[in-house]
């Protein structure tokens, strides 16, 4: 039988028909057509129901049963115009994926006649069978059941799969006693906390500010490879990444992919998923090749955080699904291939007021400048004070391959702000001890706005190595992993800024109460914060060894692995912070910590199994087969009387193969022993650490020898598609 690899290669070369991209349509003609936007709601709801929907989006208050019935009826009427037959509550459990359970509108009346039905109860609340979602022991401790509850701040939408259409209602997922079991509930709470704290601070500058909404624009990196080839790699199918594979003769050193045009087959796929995305109201804006071969990126226009998070998780689903139609596979893993760049998801983040101001955009007048400086410096202070939490918020088994490796932001959280703003902060800092007074025009009238062109240039082009960079009018959190749900990073970022801003307000008010002029008081606390948090600012090359040493001197945390990084979630400081802002109770935090540790263990466990299986059942047999060919050849040569000099090369290769085989066998053996030992540990944290330190530690050695064999063994015997085939053939 021909190997899956050779079959896949044959199919790839012989099958020349590329899936057609959908017909070009004006984006505005399809944008949002599958979304129950407020505009659509206006058409399908009574005045009363519409108003109550708008009010609940604004205030986040619950909708009562009667209004719920009316809204449900309108939703159903709209969905039926689009031939939708089923509905589902759509939510983001802590498995890292999205979950749905489809129910049909169809039901039977007591007399047996058929009816299509959807009422307020079905819209507002559901009880999915939650027992198989991770709860970190929460449901065991409290109540067996969990339920999903409608989140009106994210509009319902219709998913089309083939000819099937399902109405999806974005929901949160909580235990029966109210503990959050998903990614969204804490995020929504964090947004409320930030809103409250930021409004209070905005009052110093503008009494008309009554709402502050954080904004998010994510940049999604991903790899796309031929599905036939991917399916011949059990490691990709099971773990999303290649656990073996020698670097190809040509990697990314030429950087020709980055500047090249998008290959036709990929282009058809992109246009297809973009069309789906537009219908779902996901405002995609850019698409391009990334640095590594077969790596790409897309980014939308930024939106309010909650919606942006939903749109990103939804898009990851859409991309994965649409790729199948093109016989392609999307790899969202942070590090699918060794030796070439991994994938991240930059989180561009800022805050917008109801008055239309971007709080991280330098202002035109001294007053708005001061407002900018306030939010800018408070963000720096928040990141400085809670760097450990930010690090924890992006921790995952996948992202561990990226953070600290030589092409991604390191595990040290630092901030890049550019030369111009560094100078501004230095000027302010210099004044330590000397009180700001009203004459201090030099400071209050810092003309930051005039320097915006300089600032933009300064910040967008220069430093690509920083994990957290100011890019002119927003911060860019770059250490987020490509497969992550942005909710985790966004929950932490908005909570810590909420905390810092409320502290800021207390300190400024104290000075004002003591008779200080408002602007002077604000400047004094800004100065204090700069002094307290300047150690987190770094403008140099974050990938260098010097930075690691320098960061240690500055006492910045540098936690390289997930099991240890997650500790930050359960420190007394973190518990107090999250409880104070009503984001997580102590038991919710502990449960989440538990879930993330378990998740880590499962990921490493699966990888270890795949590595063991592939080494034993793919790599060793192929190597032995080829070794036998060599042995037969040597025997034959000997038989016809050829001396040692005639077969010494063959002999050398055969003996090298033996050496690698024995190294692999013994390492796999000890890895299995280590796994057995780790499995006996009951404490989740210790178990995760054991998996990291004693199981995962074998991966590189096994890989080293397997990759050496790949270079020795006859290509025809090698069953796993090679890097050159995955990365360069389409």
Residues forming contacts to ligand ADP in the complex (CB under 6 A) are 215-217, 219, 299-302, 348-350, 358, 460, 473-474
Q: How far is the CB of 472 from ligand ADP (least distance, A)?
A: 8
350 touches, from Mg ion, ligand ADP, none (C-beta below 5 to 8 Å by class): ligand ADP
Residue 442 vs 457, nearer CB to ligand ADP? 457
Residue 282 vs 674, nearer CB to ligand ADP? 282
Reading the block at residue 591, the tokens are 């449960």
Residue 215 vs 627, nearer CB to ligand ADP? 215
Query: Residue 677: how many CB atoms within 10 A of its CB?
Result: 12
- Mapped onto helix, strand or coil, the DSSP state of residue 331 is strand
Q: How far is the CB of 219 from Mg ion (least distance, A)?
A: 5
CA angle 686, 98, 190 (to 5 degrees): 75
DSSP one-letter string for 636-696: HHHHTT--GGGTHHHHHHHHHHHHHHHHHHHHHHHHHHHHHHHHT--SHHHHHHHIIIIIG
Nearest to 214 by CA among 494, 402, 468: 494
Q: CA–CA separation, 239 vs 336, rounded Å?
A: 9
Q: How far is the CB of 415 from ligand ADP (least distance, A)?
A: 16
User: Are 338 and 300 spatial neighbours (Cβ–Cβ below 8 Å)?
Assistant: no
299 touches, from Mg ion, ligand ADP, none (C-beta below 5 to 8 Å by class): ligand ADP
138-144 LR contacts (CB < 8 Å, sep 24+): 138/175, 138/179, 138/181, 138/587, 138/588, 138/591, 139/175, 139/176, 139/181, 141/587, 142/175, 142/176, 142/177, 142/179, 143/175, 143/176, 143/177, 144/176
300 touches, from Mg ion, ligand ADP, none (C-beta below 5 to 8 Å by class): ligand ADP
Q: Which stretch binds Mg ion (CB under 5 A): 115-123, 221-229, 341-349, 556-564?
A: 341-349
Q: CA–CA separation, 189 vs 498, rounded Å?
A: 11
Q: How far is the CB of 388 from Mg ion (least distance, A)?
A: 24
Residue 219 vs 276, nearer CB to Mg ion? 219
**What does each C-alpha distance from 477 to 242, 489, 519, 533, 633 come to in angstroms?**
27, 9, 30, 18, 59
- Per the DSSP assignment, residues forming a β-bridge with 175 are 146
Reading the block at residue 688, the tokens are 């995760």
Q: Does 345 interact with Mg ion (rule: CB under 5 A)?
A: no
**φ, ψ dihedrals at 324, nearest 5°:** -60, -40
302 touches, from Mg ion, ligand ADP, none (C-beta below 5 to 8 Å by class): ligand ADP
Q: How far is the CB of 492 from ligand ADP (least distance, A)?
A: 17
Q: Does 346 interact with Mg ion (rule: CB under 5 A)?
A: yes
Q: How far is the CB of 219 from ligand ADP (least distance, A)?
A: 6
Binding mask 290-329 for Mg ion (x = CB under 5 A): ----------------------------------------
Nearest to 173 by CA among 265, 88, 247, 108: 88
User: Are 248 and 713 spatial neighbours (Cβ–Cβ below 8 Å)?
Assistant: no
Reading the block at residue 250, the tokens are 């040509």
User: Residue 221 is inside which H or E element, if any?
Assistant: strand 212-226
- Per the DSSP assignment, residues forming a β-bridge with 412 are 558
Residue 217 vs 342, nearer CB to ligand ADP? 217
Residue 346 vs 675, nearer CB to Mg ion? 346
Residue 356 vs 514, nearer CB to ligand ADP? 356
404 touches, from ligand ADP, Mg ion, none (C-beta below 5 to 8 Å by class): none
Q: How many residues bind Mg ion (CB under 5 A)?
A: 1
User: Are 487 and 183 spatial neighbours (Cβ–Cβ below 8 Å)?
Assistant: yes
Q: Please say whether the dihedral angle defined by the alpha carbons of residues 386, 388, 391 and 394, taken in this order, is positive or negative.
A: negative
Q: How far is the CB of 283 from ligand ADP (least distance, A)?
A: 8
Residue 220 vs 495, nearer CB to Mg ion? 220
Q: How far is the CB of 474 from ligand ADP (least distance, A)?
A: 4
Q: How far is the CB of 218 from ligand ADP (least distance, A)?
A: 6
Reading the block at residue 54, the tokens are 């708008």
Residue 9 vs 299, nearer CB to ligand ADP? 299
User: Are 696 and 605 spatial neighbours (Cβ–Cβ below 8 Å)?
Assistant: no
217 touches, from Mg ion, ligand ADP, none (C-beta below 5 to 8 Å by class): ligand ADP
Query: Residue 473: how many CB atoms within 10 A of its CB?
Result: 17
Q: Does 257 interact with Mg ion (rule: CB under 5 A)?
A: no
Residue 375 vs 718, nearer CB to ligand ADP? 375
87 touches, from Mg ion, ligand ADP, none (C-beta below 5 to 8 Å by class): none
Residue 305 vs 425, nearer CB to ligand ADP? 305
Residue 125 vs 460, nearer CB to ligand ADP? 460
Reading the block at residue 259, the tokens are 């500047």
Reading the block at residue 429, the tokens are 């800092």
Reading the block at residue 56, the tokens are 């609940």
674 touches, from Mg ion, ligand ADP, none (C-beta below 5 to 8 Å by class): none
349 touches, from Mg ion, ligand ADP, none (C-beta below 5 to 8 Å by class): ligand ADP
290 touches, from ligand ADP, Mg ion, none (C-beta below 5 to 8 Å by class): none
Residues 587-616 that bind Mg ion (CB under 5 A): none
User: Are 600 and 691 spatial neighbours (Cβ–Cβ below 8 Å)?
Assistant: yes
Q: Please say whether the dihedral angle defined by the alpha carbons of residues 493, 496, 499 and 503, taken in this order, is positive or negative.
A: negative
Q: Which stretch binds Mg ion (CB under 5 A): 58-66, 339-347, 391-399, 685-693?
A: 339-347
User: Are 183 and 489 spatial neighbours (Cβ–Cβ below 8 Å)?
Assistant: no
Q: How far is the CB of 215 from ligand ADP (least distance, A)?
A: 4
Residue 217 vs 248, nearer CB to ligand ADP? 217
Residue 346 vs 401, nearer CB to Mg ion? 346
Q: How far is the CB of 478 from Mg ion (least distance, A)?
A: 7
User: Are 566 and 597 spatial neighbours (Cβ–Cβ below 8 Å)?
Assistant: yes
Q: How far is the CB of 284 from ligand ADP (least distance, A)?
A: 9
Q: Which stretch binds Mg ion (CB under 5 A): 304-312, 342-350, 516-524, 657-665?
A: 342-350
Closest CB to ligand ADP: residue number: 217
Query: Residue 320: how many CB atoms within 10 A of its CB?
Result: 16
Q: How far is the CB of 71 from ligand ADP (least distance, A)?
A: 30
Residue 325 vs 358, nearer CB to ligand ADP? 358
User: Are 399 and 481 spatial neighbours (Cβ–Cβ below 8 Å)?
Assistant: yes
User: Are 509 and 394 spatial neighbours (Cβ–Cβ below 8 Å)?
Assistant: no
707 touches, from ligand ADP, Mg ion, none (C-beta below 5 to 8 Å by class): none
Q: How far is the CB of 501 from ligand ADP (least distance, A)?
A: 17
**Exposure of 623 by Cβ count < 10 A (0-12 exposed, 13-18 middle, 19+ buried)?**
buried
DSSP one-letter string for 451-498: GHHHHHHHHHHS-SS-SEEE-SSSEEE---BTTS-HHHHHHHHHHHHH
Q: Which stretch binds Mg ion (CB under 5 A): 340-348, 388-396, 450-458, 560-568?
A: 340-348
Q: Which residues bind Mg ion (CB under 5 A)?
A: 346
């Amino acid at each position: 039988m021909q190997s899956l690899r050779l079959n896949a290669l044959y199919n790839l070369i012989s099958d020349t028909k590329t899936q057609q991209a959908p017909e070009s349509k004006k984006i505005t003609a399809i944008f949002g057509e599958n979304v129950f936007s407020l505009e659509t709601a206006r058409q399908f709801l009574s005045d009363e129901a519409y108003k109550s929907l708008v009010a609940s989006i604004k205030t986040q208050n619950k909708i009562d049963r009667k209004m719920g019935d009316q809204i449900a009826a309108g939703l159903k009427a709209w969905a039926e115009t689009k031939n939708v037959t089923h509905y589902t509550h759509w939510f983001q459990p802590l498995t890292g994926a999205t979950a749905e359970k489809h129910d049909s509108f169809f039901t039977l009346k007591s007399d047996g006649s058929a009816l299509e039905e959807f009422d307020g109860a079905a819209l507002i609340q559901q009880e999915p069978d939650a027992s198989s979602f991770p709860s970190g022991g929460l449901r065991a401790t409290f109540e067996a059941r969990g339920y999903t509850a409608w989140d009106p701040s994210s509009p319902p939408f219709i998913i089309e799969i083939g000819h099937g259409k399902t109405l999806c209602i974005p929901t949160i997922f909580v235990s029966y006693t109210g503990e959050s079991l998903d990614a969204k509930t804490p995020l929504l709470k964090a947004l409320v906390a930030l809103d409250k704290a930021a409004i209070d601070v905005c009052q110093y500058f503008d009494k008309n500010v009554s709402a502050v909404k954080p904004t998010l624009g994510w940049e999604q990196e991903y790899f796309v490879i031929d599905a036939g080839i991917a399916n011949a790699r059990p490691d990709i199918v099971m773990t999303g990444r290649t656990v073996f594979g020698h670097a190809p003769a040509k990697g990314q050193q030429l950087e020709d992919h980055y500047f090249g045009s998008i290959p036709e087959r990929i282009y058809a796929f992109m246009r297809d998923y973009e069309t789906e995305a537009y219908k779902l109201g996901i405002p995609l804006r850019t698409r391009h090749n990334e640095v590594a071969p077969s790596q790409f990126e897309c980014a939308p226009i930024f939106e309010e955080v909650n919606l942006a998070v939903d749109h990103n998780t939804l898009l990851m689903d859409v991309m994965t699904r649409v790729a199948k139609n093109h016989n392609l596979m999307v790899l969202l893993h942070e590090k699918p291939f060794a030796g070439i760049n991994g994938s991240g998801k930059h989180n561009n983040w800022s805050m917008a007021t109801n008055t239309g101001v971007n709080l991280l955009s330098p202002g035109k007048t001294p007053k708005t400048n001061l407002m900018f400086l306030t939010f800018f410096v408070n963000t720096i202070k928040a990141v400085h004070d809670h760097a450990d939490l930010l690090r924890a918020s992006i921790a995952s088994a996948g992202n561990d391959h990226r953070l600290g490796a030589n092409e991604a932001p390191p595990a040290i959280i630092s901030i890049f702000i550019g030369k111009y703003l560094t100078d501004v902060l230095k000027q302010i800092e210099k004044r330590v001890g000397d009180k700001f007074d009203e004459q201090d025009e030099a400071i209050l009238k810092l003309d930051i706005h005039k320097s915006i062109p300089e600032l933009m240039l300064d910040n967008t082009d220069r430093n690509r190595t920083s994990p957290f960079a100011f890019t002119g009018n927003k911060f860019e959190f770059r250490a987020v992993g490509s497969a992550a749900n942005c909710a985790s990073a966004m929950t932490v970022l908005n909570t810590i800024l909420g905390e810092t801003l409320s502290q800021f307000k207390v300190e400024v008010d104290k000075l004002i109460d003591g008779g200080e002029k408002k602007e002077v008081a604000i400047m004094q606390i800004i100065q204090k914060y700069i002094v307290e948090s300047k150690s987190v600012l770094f403008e140099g090359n974050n990938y260098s060894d010097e930075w690691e040493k320098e960061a240690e001197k500055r006492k910045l945390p540098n936690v390289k692995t997930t099991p240890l990084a997650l500790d930050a979630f359960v420190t007394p400081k973190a518990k107090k912070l999250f409880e104070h802002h009503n984001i997580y109770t102590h038991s919710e935090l502990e449960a989440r910590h538990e879930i993330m540790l378990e998740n880590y263990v499962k990921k490493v466990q699966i990888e270890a199994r795949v590595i063991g299986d592939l080494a034993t059942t793919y790599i060793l047999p192929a190597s032995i087969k080829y070794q036998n060919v060599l042995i037969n050849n040597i025997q034959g040569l000997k038989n016809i009387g050829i001396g040692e000099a005639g077969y010494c090369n063959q002999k050398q290769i055969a003996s090298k193969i033996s050496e690698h085989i024995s190294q692999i066998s013994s390492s796999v053996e000890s890895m299995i022993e280590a796994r057995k030992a780790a499995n006996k540990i009951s404490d989740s944290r210790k178990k995760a650490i054991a998996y990291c330190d004693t199981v995962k530690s074998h991966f590189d050695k096994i890989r080293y020898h397997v990759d050496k064999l790949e270079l020795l063994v006859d290509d025809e015997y090698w069953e796993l598609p090679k890097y050159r085939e995955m990365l360069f053939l389409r």
